[in-house]
Structure 1
Amino acid sequence: MTSNRREFIAGVGSASALVALTGCVGVQQSESTPSGDASSDGGDTTTERGGTATAWYALTDTEQPLREDAITAFNEQSPHTVEGADISSMEKKTTSAIPAGQGPQSFEHAHDWVGDYTQRGFLADQTGELDVSLDTFTSAAADAVQFDGQIVGLPHAAETVTLIYNTDIVDEPPETVAEMVDVMADYHDPSKNQYGLGYPFNPYFTSSWLQAFGGYYFDASKDDMLGIDKDPVVEGLQFALDNFKPYMPNDPTYEPQASIFASGNAAFAINGPWYLSTLNEKGVNYEVTTPPKPEGGEANPYTGVKMWYFSKAMREGGPATEAGRSFVEWFATNEDHILQRAEQQGSIPVLASLVGSDDLPGEVKAFSEAVDQGTPMPTHPKVNKVWPPVESALIKAFNGDATPEAALSQAAETVRSNWE
């Protein structure tokens, strides 16, 4: 999947947020190392306070302030320093910088790169080096950060897409897609800039319906691992086009679809927890609910685990590696910070001590239920070659340039050719 999940698929910070984080940084202290021992690989430097590590992430504007507060809190309490950088195209940047020895100590992304990036030598196995047990997390999150017996990162949140509704327009959440269509049809009037639904039409978002009738994108346990051209997936795409496209803006890409609901001009949105910080900033009155049930099927969205990857630069060891590892361990386990992200940004905890906690907001619990209903994205190295052809097929079908069957058949041919 591409690096900017918010376009492909892919909480305002405050002084009070920083105060809450400062003083609760539970990192292991290490001795300071004399300055002057530096390397050009990913910011491998030392200071009087310890090592300096670089951490890359790709966030929306509304997500960045809390991340900056977290890094500031860590730096003030730790002997180490982390320098954060927001990266506009994570996949392009990591696949070029890491092989050249210019990558960070850690970078943040969903777990679907684990297999591909491990086999390409982009990651560092930290088995035996961590002060955090994987038992600290849910079993699904712990599984997501491992490949071929290696621990290549730590998880910090779960994510998926589900139904969000504007409470100024919709009285109660629909239980079925048919009920949802009735509401959308009543409200939809593009001449008044009113739409039934804001829904980015890409592989991650549409997986709920393409996999709703027994279909699958990719399943390594099957003889034919690729399922995108099989009848159940074709049926799912036709279902999505029939029921959702008539009530959406004409441009299927992320920004036009996301912005129409964020501006208060759509009854429904289908989006992920990262979207909530934007809705909070815009002052939209909304509720989050589980996906509605399609007749004859069950919504089956792909789910992801947001994680910090241990980059190849951490194989070097030394103060920079210690700094990167300490930051990731803190970020993944600090309950105060995790609760803040849940409250301000809808982040879904995977820390076992917080899963199901009464302290979590209602919208986070709704996203958690959607995660339980879905299917984890595969980590097999072949999966990365599935996403672009499926994205192209969905756009063709949405725009009426090909039937669902023809578009997905062509996508399957492309994927199989790329695998060869």
Structure 2
Amino acid sequence: MEEQDGSESSGEDGSDSSGTDGTDTEEGSDDSGPSGTATVWYSLSESEKDEREAAIQQFEEQTDHSIDNSDISDMEQKTTSAIPAGQGPHTFEWAHDWVGDYTERGFLVDRSDDLGVDLDQFTPAAAEAAQFDGGVYGLPHDSETVTLIYNTDIVDEAPETVEEMRSTMEEFHDPENNQYGLGYPFNDPYFLSGWLQAFDGHLFDPEADEALGVDSEEVIEGAQFAVDNFAPYMPNDPQYEPQASVFAEGNAAFAINGPWYLSTLNEKGINYEVTELPTAEGASPTPYTGITMWYFTTGMEDGGDDIVAAQEFIEWYTTNEDLLLENAEEQGSIPVLQSLVDGGELPDSVQGFAQSVEQGVPMPSDPRMNQVWDPVKNALTKMFNGDDDPQPALEQAADEIRSNWE
């Protein structure tokens, strides 16, 4: 996926219930039974689409099934309108944080009794992300978070602290000559979560005594830290595209972005390294992490050849070592298939993201989290533009969230 306004996704494992293990054999077509057509939706950047279509073609060649695939520009709007009308896909790809909300709204179906793969094949966090209230509502293939990327033509070595990073940004930052210290989508809570939660705070934790922490002292401290240390060295538009493009054009020393961004950097010929987020005045950044998965929609509720095709595609994709390793190498995807995580074959750039995944915490899948993103995004935009200080901006956001919950 490209940008994460509270979520983003990708694809990962692959073995189907017919015995296909991701290798080019003809056995899958003999064993998979009658052919079906699975309807599959995803939302990808231009650089990712060719790889996805090649993977789908590979699946079709290995089985008797076909895939009716579509790239969807607004997945949330499309799924929430099409699925209840009976016009949705059998499966769609997105980060795990919709599991709770979509389950409660009747958009997903529990397929725990129909799985042809063992959830133990995935990392524990990924296996847990696909479940809600004891049901299994999809299968995972990648993890994602944001981390620090630096241009090796500008920066000699990875900074271990924000103070070191700031020293380099100050030296390089020269907006009049189109040079910036940092490209960072500042208005997106997913991207800023590492710093908002760095000082022992949380945006939302359903297990905490006070679930909503948006207006807590700790989160306000993290927001102030981000405003002071990052905003002065960025282009003056906090949105994704202008922040991402400045580093991709070679005009910024650092970027904070996700693994989906690496394919763009590779296309642009940027020399870069990926490293974990630096420490913040002794505190450790705690970014949100996402698990990208193929969801089981209510379109998979009934039997039939099309449902078999969808199930086999999902299981093939999420357990296919060759495919997932290629995604890691070409797109920077972070597999959650345990055999790849333990195998030592992942590229260095992916290992850098994996370190930040270890730093982070999974996005809550509690349905109430959906009411958190937009008010916090508006608060971050006000802070970046200098229209409000962190405390009043976040207090207003918290009031709006609580009101929406009621």
TMscore range, shorter length: over 0.9
Matches of 1:9 and 1:349, distance apart in 2:
17
TM superposition shift of 1:358: 2.1
Find 2:278's aligned residue among 260, 285, 292. Answer: 292
* Corresponding position of 2:221: 235
Identity %: 60
Name which of 400, 408, 416 aligns with 2:386.
Answer: 400
Structure 1 residues 224-257: Cα deviation after superposition (integer angstroms, max 9, x where no partner): 2100000100010010010000100000000000
Q: 1:52-63 maps to which residues of 2 (within 5 A)? A: 52-63=37-48
Partner of residue 255, structure 1: 241
Residue 63 of structure 1 aligns to a residue whose secondary structure is: helix
Matched residues, number: 391
Aligned counterparts of 1:380 and 1:234: Cα–Cα separation in 2: 23
CA deviations 1:203-243 (Å, max 9, x no partner) are 00000100000110111112321000001000100100100
Alignment pair present for 1:23 and 2:9: no
Counterpart mapping for 1:114-263 below 5 A = 114-201=99-186, 202-263=188-249
Conservation of the 8 A alpha-carbon contact between 1:22 and 1:74: no
Change (3 A) 1:135 1:8: closer
CA RMSD of aligned residues (A): 1.5
| Deviations, residues 276-318 of structure 1 (Å, cap 9, x unaligned) | 0000000000000010000031111000101000111000221
TM-score relative to the length of structure 2: 0.94
**Distance in 1, Cα, partners of 2:27 & 2:201:** 44
User: Quick check: 1:58–1:86 contact (8 Å CA) kept in 2?
Assistant: yes
Aligned-partner SS, 1:184? helix
Cα pair 1:107 1:308 within 8 Å, conserved: yes
Query: Is 1:24–1:336's contact at 8 Å kept on the other side of the alignment?
Result: no
Inter-partner Cα distance in structure 2 for 1:315 and 1:120: 15
What is the one-letter code of the residue matched to 2:304? G
1:25 shift after superposition = 8.6
Mark the CA change 1:26 to 1:308 in structure 2 (over 3 Å): closer, same or farther.
Answer: farther
Question: Does the CA-based 8 Å contact 2:5-2:189 persist in structure 1?
Answer: no
In structure 2, the partner of 1:367 is 353
Question: CA 1:9/1:406 → structure 2, altered by over 3 Å: closer, same or farther?
Answer: farther
Matched, 1:278 2:279: no
CA offset at residue 9 of structure 1? Answer: 6.6
Q: Does the 8 Å CA contact 1:135/1:142 hold for their aligned counterparts? A: yes
Please give the alpha-carbon distance, in whole angstroms, between the structure 2 residues aligned to 1:90 and 1:144. 19
For 1:379, the aligned partner's letter is: S
Structure 1 position 8, deviation (Å): 6.2
1:17 aligned residue: none
Superposition TM-score, scaled by structure 1 size? 0.91
CA contact (8 A) 2:7 2:97 kept: no
1:46-103, CA deviations, whole angstroms, 9 ceiling, x for partnerless residues?
xxxx110111000000011100100011111112111211000000000000000000
How many Å separate the matches in 2 of 1:274 and 1:123?
26
Per-residue CA deviations over 1:315-336 (Å, capped at 9, x if unaligned) read 0221111111100001100000
1:389 equivalent among 352, 375, 392: 375
Describe the superposition over 1:4-30 as per-residue Cα deviations: whole angstroms up to 9, x where unpaired: 7446675xxxxxxxxxx7716985833
Query: Could you tell me which of 83, 94, 100 is aligned with 2:85?
Result: 100
Residue by residue over 1:319-358, the C-alpha shift from the partner in whole angstroms, topping out at 9 and shown as x without a partner, is: 1111111000011000000000000001001001010422
Aligned to 1:353, the other structure's residue is in SS state: helix
Could you say which residue in structure 2 is the equivalent of 1:72?
A: 57
Report what 1:40 is aligned to: none
What letter corresponds to residue 144 of structure 1 in structure 2? A
| Contact 1:216 1:228 (8 Å CA) reproduced | yes
Q: Kindly tell me: are residues 27 and 209 of structure 1, through their superposed partners in 2, closer, same or farther at Cα, counting changes over 3 Å?
A: farther
Select which of 398, 403, 406 maps to 1:412.
398
The whole-number CA distance in structure 1 between the counterparts of 2:353 and 2:26 is 27
Inter-partner Cα distance in structure 2 for 1:276 and 1:9: 17
Contact in 2 for aligned 1:27/1:327 (Cα 8 Å): no
CA contact (8 A) 2:259 2:331 kept: yes
Aligned residue type for 2:191: F
